[in-house]
C-alpha cells in the first residue's frame, strides 16, 4: 500500500477578482467569520489524514506562513489580559498536527506551473492538491470527508482522482468540466474520460466541474511539464489531466459532499460567510432579526 501524505496548496495567486480588498492582504487570509480561509483548508487536510502541507507561495504572501507560526507577543498579551479561551485558540493554530513547508512560484504562469514548483518537495511520492479559495461546507459530517475518501481510495487502488461537483448552467464556463463513464470496480462516480478547461455551454461534455480537490500518482508531474502555455502564457492543470487520461492513465471521479463556495468571487465569499454564520447560534439569531427589519 502506497501512503499518500503530502498535499499541495497553491497560494501564489494575486486575488485580482477580490481587489481592492486583496491589494495588501492575501485572499487566502480573508476571514470567514473569525478564521481566515486558509485555516479552514489546512484543517480539512488534517482531517483527511495528510501529514504535510506544501504551500506554493509568492513574496507578498508571508502573512499566510506567519498565521501558522507561534506569536509570542500576542500570546503574552492575551495571557496578561486573562483571555484564556482566545489564547488557547491562538496557540492551537501553531500546534496543528501537520508539517507546513513553503516554496516560491517565481512568476505567475498558472495553476499547473504552481504545482510543478512543488515537485522537489514532493520527491517521488504521490500527492494531493487542494485549491485554497474553494471552501466546502457540510451540514452533517466534516468538510474533509470527500478528501479523506479520495486519500483512502488512492492508498487502496493507487489510482488518481478528481472531486466533481454539479455546476449551474450559467457557471459551466468558469470551471474544468469532466465527462465520466461508470466503473463498478471502483468507488465514486466512475472514471473520467476527458476534461475541458472552461468550455462554452455548447461544448461542455456535462455539468460536472472540478471542485478543487485532486489526487495524483507521482508520474503526473511528467504530463504537467509537457503542457504548452495557453494564450495567457499559463500552464493549465486541466490540460495536463486530459493528456494524462489520453495516455491511458486512470482518473477516478468522486462526488462532492456538501456545498462549495468559490471564495475568490465577491458574491460567493459573502455567501460563504453567511453559511458559516448561520451555524453559529448567537450570530444566526442576529442575522435573522436583522433580516426581519428589511
Encode pLDDT of 20-66 as tens digits.
888 888 899 999 988 999 999 999 999 999 999 999 998 788 888 88
Asked if residue 185 has pLDDT above 80, the reply is no
- Whole-angstrom Cα distance, residue 4 to residue 108? 28
Q: Which of 117, 107, 56, 113 is nearest to 229 (CA)?
A: 113
**Cis? peptide before 154, omega within 30° of 0:** no
Q: What is the mean pLDDT of the chain?
A: 88
Say whether pLDDT at 19 is over 90: no
**Cα-Cα-Cα-Cα dihedral of 31, 36, 38, 44, to 10°?**
-100
What is the average per-residue pLDDT within 1-18? 87
SS3 of residue 200 by DSSP:
coil
Q: Any idea how long the chain is?
A: 294
Does residue 286 lie in a domain region? Answer: yes
Residue 139 inside a domain? The answer is yes
Average pLDDT over residues 243-249: 92
State yes or no: pLDDT of 14 exceeds 80. no
CA distance 262 to 94: 26
Please tell me whether residue 163 adopts helix, strand or coil conformation.
Answer: strand
Judge whether 249 lies within some domain: yes
Structural domain includes residue 145: yes
When pLDDT is averaged across residues 132-147 and rounded to a whole number, the result is 91
- CATH number where 204 lies: 3.90.550.10
Q: Which of 12-16, 196-200, 266-270 has the highest mean pLDDT?
A: 266-270
**Model pTM score:** 0.91
Kindly give the pairing relationship between strand 190-197 and strand 259-262.
unpaired
How much is the pLDDT for 13? 82
Top-confidence range, 75-79, 90-94, 231-235, 270-274 = 270-274
- What is the number of domains present in the chain? 1
Strand partners, 162: 214, 253
Res 100: pLDDT: 87
Give me the pLDDT at residue 50, please: 94
Neighbours of 207 (CB within 10 A): 17
Q: Does 92 reside within a domain?
A: yes
Q: Say if residue 184's pLDDT is above 80.
A: no
Which pLDDT score is estimated for 224?
Answer: 93
CB 104 within 8 A of CB 117: yes
Residues 6+ apart with CB under 8 A from 42: 9, 53, 68, 96, 98, 100
In a domain, 157, yes or no: yes
Torsion of CA 159, 165, 169, 175, to 10 degrees: -60
Q: In the predicted model, is pLDDT for residue 91 greater than 90?
A: no
Residue 234 forms part of a structural domain: yes
Please, are residues 143 and 137 in contact by the beta-carbon 8 Å criterion? Answer: yes
**1 lies in a domain?**
no
Range of the domain at 63: 6-292
Amino acid at each position: 500500500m502506497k501512503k499518500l501524505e503530502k498535499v499541495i496548496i497553491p497560494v501564489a495567486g494575486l486575488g485580482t477578482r477580490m481587489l481592492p480588498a486583496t491589494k495588501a492582504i492575501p485572499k487566502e487570509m480573508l476571514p470567514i467569520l473569525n478564521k481566515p480561509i486558509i485555516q479552514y483548508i489546512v484543517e480539512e487536510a488534517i482531517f483527511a489524514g495528510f501529514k504535510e502541507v506544501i504551500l506554493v507561495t509568492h513574496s507578498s504572501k508571508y502573512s499566510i506562513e506567519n498565521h501558522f507560526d507561534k506569536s509570542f507577543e500576542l500570546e503574552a498579551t492575551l495571557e496578561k489580559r486573562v483571555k484564556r479561551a482566545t489564547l488557547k485558540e491562538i496557540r492551537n493554530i501553531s500546534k496543528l498536527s501537520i508539517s507546513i513547508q513553503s516554496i516560491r512560484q517565481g512568476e505567475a504562469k498558472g495553476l499547473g506551473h504552481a504545482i510543478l514548483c512543488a515537485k522537489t518537495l514532493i520527491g517521488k511520492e504521490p500527492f494531493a492538491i487542494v485549491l485554497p479559495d474553494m471552501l466546502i461546507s457540510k451540514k452533517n459530517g466534516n468538510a474533509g470527508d470527500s478528501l479523506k475518501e479520495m486519500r483512502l481510495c488512492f492508498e487502496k487502488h493507487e489510482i488518481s482522482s478528481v472531486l466533481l461537483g454539479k455546476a449551474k448552467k450559467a457557471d459551466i464556463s468558469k470551471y474544468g468540466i469532466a465527462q465520466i463513464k461508470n466503473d463498478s470496480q471502483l468507488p465514486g462516480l466512475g472514471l473520467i474520460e476527458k476534461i475541458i478547461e472552461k468550455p462554452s455551454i455548447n461544448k461542455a461534455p456535462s455539468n460536472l466541474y472540478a471542485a478543487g480537490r485532486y489526487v495524483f500518482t507521482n508520474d503526473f508531474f511528467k504530463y504537467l511539464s509537457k503542457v504548452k502555455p495557453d494564450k495567457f502564457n499559463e500552464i493549465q492543470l486541466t490540460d495536463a489531466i486530459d493528456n494524462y487520461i489520453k495516455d491511458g492513465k486512470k482518473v477516478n471521479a468522486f462526488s462532492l459532499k456538501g456545498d462549495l463556495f468559490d471564495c475568490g468571487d465577491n458574491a460567493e465569499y459573502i455567501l460563504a460567510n453567511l453559511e458559516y454564520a448561520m451555524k453559529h447560534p448567537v450570530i444566526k439569531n442576529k442575522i435573522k432579526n436583522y433580516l426581519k427589519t428589511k
